[in-house]
Chain A
Amino acid sequence: MSATMDNEIRAGSGSPASRWGRALAHSPILCVGLAILFFWIAVAVLAPWIAPYAPNAQHMTAVSDLGPSAHHWFGADSLHRDILSRIIWGARPVLLIAPVSLICAYVVGISAGLAAGYKGGWVDEVVSRVIDVLLSFPKIVLYVVLIASLGPSALNIVLAIVLSSSPGIARLVRGLALDIKTRDFVAAARTRGETSLYIVFVEILPLARGPLIVDFCVRMGYTIIAIGVLGFLGLGLPPPDPDWGGMVRDATPILNVYPHAALFPSLAIVTLVSAFNLIADGLQELDHGR
């Protein structure tokens, strides 16, 4: 008996690092997604050192021709600013605002969803109706109304994203909690005299982490798009700071002459969004393979 037990313990162990190693080896999609993500994180962190110019500097070298040149690899925008430098610096606000706002949305969504799913009754009724109302607004209308009334700023972008994402998250968490709370270990916790807070956060939430992590990655993609859209509508970060969506908007008047000015920032958004989608797919694949 003890011999088999030892084997089981050994089979069950394995440091988190080795588990990640195995996961990566099994999923090339996950590898690609993580590689792109780490590339953009590195770009954002190292921006002061790798960006060839200051993001807001105007250059005489890009007066006559805005197109890509030896001085400006990705060309320049209509204000003669280096696009490569602006993309590099622009990675910073995106990679900061997207996760921060989404984490805030998750805090709100998880709390509401757990309360509704575990408590049920009138709590569930109220939370579910609020979710229904918020989800019935088109997201874009929600953004425009909120930021147009509060004014464009990083904080208000976070606010808009929390308001638009948390209902979906809450609905997902509620469904997971409804399922998990019927399991016997939840009944066992109740008959042990545990508090509702303990049951919800220690017994239920950890079991829901699989679907939630995948959902987080998918939502990261949407959030980055949302930030781009806000920038494009002029509701993003206030100028002159670089913002990928805003860069696409600035490029629209000169688009038929200089398509590069919109192309490169768009590519930046596309790669970052696909990175998160690939990670989500990879994680899901691993989950099903298990």
Chain B
Amino acid sequence: MAAEATPLLRIEDLEIRYRGADREVLAVNDVSLELGAGECMALIGESGCGKSTVAMSVMRYLGENGRIAQGRILFRGQDLGTMTEADLRALRRGGIAMVYQDASSALNPTMKIGRQLAEVLETHEHAEAGSIAPRVLEMLRKVGIPDPEGTMGRYPHQLSGGQQQRIVIAMAFLAEPALLILDEPTTALDVTVEAQIIELLARMREEHGTAMLFISHNLGLVRRVCERVSVMYAGQIVERGATATILGAPQHPYTQGLVSCIPRLDRGRADYRLNSIPGQVPRLSSAPRRCTFMDRCHHAVPGECDTRIDIGPARSSVDVRCARWKDLGKDAGPEAPAREPEMPRHRRDCVLSVENMCKTYELRSPFDLFGKRSRQVRAGESISIALSPGETLGIVGESGCGKSTLARVIMGLEAPSSGRVVVLGDDVTGKQVEQRSREQVRNVQMVFQNPDSTLNPLHTVGFILDRAVKLLGGVRDRDGRRREVERLLDLVRLPAEVMRMRAGRLSGGQKQRVAVARAFAGRPALVVADEPTSALDTSVKTAILELLLSVQKQTGTALVFISHDLAVVRYIADRVCVMYLGHVLETGGVEEVFEPPFHPYTQALLDAVPSVDQDIAAPHRPLEGEATSWTPQSRGCPFSARCESSIEGLCDIQSPPNLETGENHLICCHLPVSALGQGAFA
């Protein structure tokens, strides 16, 4: 490739520094990469490894305190660093465009969609007014917006997250860029919507011949989209090469770590074990004179790894920055701690039972003082679940399907509109948490989704846990409480020093560990975990999953694990409940749900998840449309509007029956069992 004409993008020995409060931080160092026209390369790695910084430096958006200390970024052979503002503006047209993670903040909330898109053409081409609108319409059609004419006149907040991201992509492609930088474009989206966006990007790339720099920590996605991948760690590229080779047989211990901490969709918990990478990404202030990954690497050998290590060719078309890559195969793998034997379950009593729970939200217009014209939106429609001690129930579904509402109803943070909630034999229906007895409160605890809001940032970890131990554990004396706090920190594998730290200063993973410790402080019978890992990095996610599993083993607590990540649910859950718009569509043991026969929706969800093992060429048809809210007027199967096997005159009128396809395995569908699984999606 080097022999060919100038590559589209060429980064040479890039070093980027940020001015911090008291010292300079080396965000990127010794990064070189090349991207040819029409190529697609992925940058992967944990957060804080410099992926986004590289992307920002290509856009020249480093901000006031960042600077390129060394190296050059060449776009079509021109040095971006020496360009003037006017040159850069010219470059945006037909040059480089970017798609960000958060589409809602990339769009101007006060401008109609049509206007925002037209602006791109006006500034770049000074096109005359007449020709703009048709081109914008055509682009909207291309990116798959259902009603392009109507959408032109809408504001961004009137569109769903997936549609907003489509608009952002349309905006980027209107400028006809030769290089498109995508910074985690689908992280905020549901799996089915993510699959649609990825499909769209692949199609647009084919049509426009655009090169892409794709930043992501979702390796399955990278496998599906990109031909080449560069793995970044602590500001350096540690391994690069063809995607299939690198993800299939990683050479660098860090890449191996990344690959081994992805939960698998196609295998159950009994068949493999997730390994998290211990430790954290270091923050460097000067160029490292040794392997940056050494502290977290179990292959590290003093003497070999503590010299400056350059990236060099390892195998065909794979470069690796590791002194010992040749010898890694000879080392024994990390010693996997022996798995605790599965505890025998006592199926006789029931920790939690939810029967026909229904939750209706009244939407009141602000101009309607007396609530007469209120509209109802249902978050939960006759949900029934049951849970035995020590069991883990995974609840999956897209956002807006009522998963979190169910959690809040169980916790007593919200009251159900109808139905029954029974915890440990006590009927707590309609009892807000304040009205529950101390024992009922102690027995049901929750782990929240967002690590940044789960702990009060001003309180110290010691105070937070002390409070939990005092109220939930019922330990009164000071020394006893302190011992208990230490025990809890040990349980979640945090050093005792964190006790004095304010929660605001912890990393996301540490915060979530403290949250787990807090939830388990009173030895509860049931813990509800609402997407506890969705905001975390892959390796941290794995660590928290392992932690939850091991703490649960030790305490015999029942767990309700809510997630939109099917692979995670497959790994952690004993039983799974698939929810859609407040309805339970399928429920059963984890192996039964993840193997045919499937509910059409379960199958669509499974199909949407990109797998690390799957080749780019694998056939794939994403589920179309998005989940809309369910109103009481709706009849029939809630999924019928999006279901490919929907039978007209039946599915959209009559509620589907519960098909019993195995012991405790229920599928709520009109189709005969024989048609499920081999059906329309495969």
Q: CB within 8 Å of B: which residues of A? A: 1-6, 8-9, 11-12, 183-185, 187-188, 190-194, 196, 203, 206-207
Contacts and interface: CB of A to CB of B under 8 A. Distances in A.
B168 interface: no
Nearest to B498: A5
A194 B282 CA distance: 38
A191 B441 contact: yes
A6 B455 CA distance: 21
A193 B441 CA distance: 7
A215 B345 CA distance: 58
Nearest to A198: B467
Contact of A191 (B295, B444, B457, B500): B444
Nearest to A196: B434
Contacts of A185: 453-456
B399 interface: no
B497 interface: yes
A192 B412 contact: no
A12 B468 CA distance: 24
B456 A207 contact: yes
Contacts of A3: 295
Interface string B167-205: 000000000000000000000000000000000000000
26 contacts: A1-B278, A1-B495, A3-B295, A4-B280, A5-B497, A6-B497, A8-B501, A12-B501, A12-B505, A183-B453, A184-B453, A185-B455, A185-B456, A187-B411, A187-B446, A187-B448, A188-B455, A188-B515, A190-B413, A190-B433, A192-B467, A192-B471, A194-B467, A203-B456, A206-B456, A207-B457
Contacts of B218: none
A192 B413 contact: no
A16 to B, nearest CB: 13
Interface of B: 278-280, 282, 295, 408, 411-413, 433-434, 438, 441-442, 444-446, 448-450, 453-458, 467-468, 471-472, 495, 497-498, 500-502, 505, 515, 518
Secondary structure at the A interface, as helix, strand, loop or mixed, is helix
A191 B413 contact: yes
B242 to A, nearest CB: 33
A190 B434 contact: yes
Given A1-B280, A5-B495, 20 more contacts: A1-B495, A2-B495, A9-B500, A184-B450, A184-B453, A184-B454, A185-B453, A187-B408, A187-B448, A188-B446, A188-B454, A188-B518, A190-B413, A190-B433, A191-B441, A192-B468, A196-B434, A206-B456, A207-B457, A207-B458
A183 B454 CA distance: 7
B448 A188 contact: yes
Nearest to B519: A188
A193 B497 contact: no
Contacts of B279: 1, 4
A193 B438 contact: yes
B471 A193 contact: yes
A192 B456 contact: no
**Closest 4 A/B residue pairs (Cβ):** A184-B448, A183-B453, A193-B441, A184-B453
Residue with the highest number of chain A CB atoms closer than 10 Å, among B434, B446, B449, B456: B456
A159 B166 CA distance: 59
A149 B397 CA distance: 66
Contacts of B453: 183-185
A3 B495 CA distance: 11
Contacts of B441: 191-193
A184 B295 CA distance: 34
A7 to B, nearest CB: 9
Contacts of A203: 456
B289 to A, nearest CB: 17
B305 to A, nearest CB: 16
A193 B472 contact: yes
Contacts of A183: 453
A9 B279 CA distance: 16
B446 A191 contact: yes
A8 B283 CA distance: 11
A187 B471 contact: no
Nearest to A203: B456
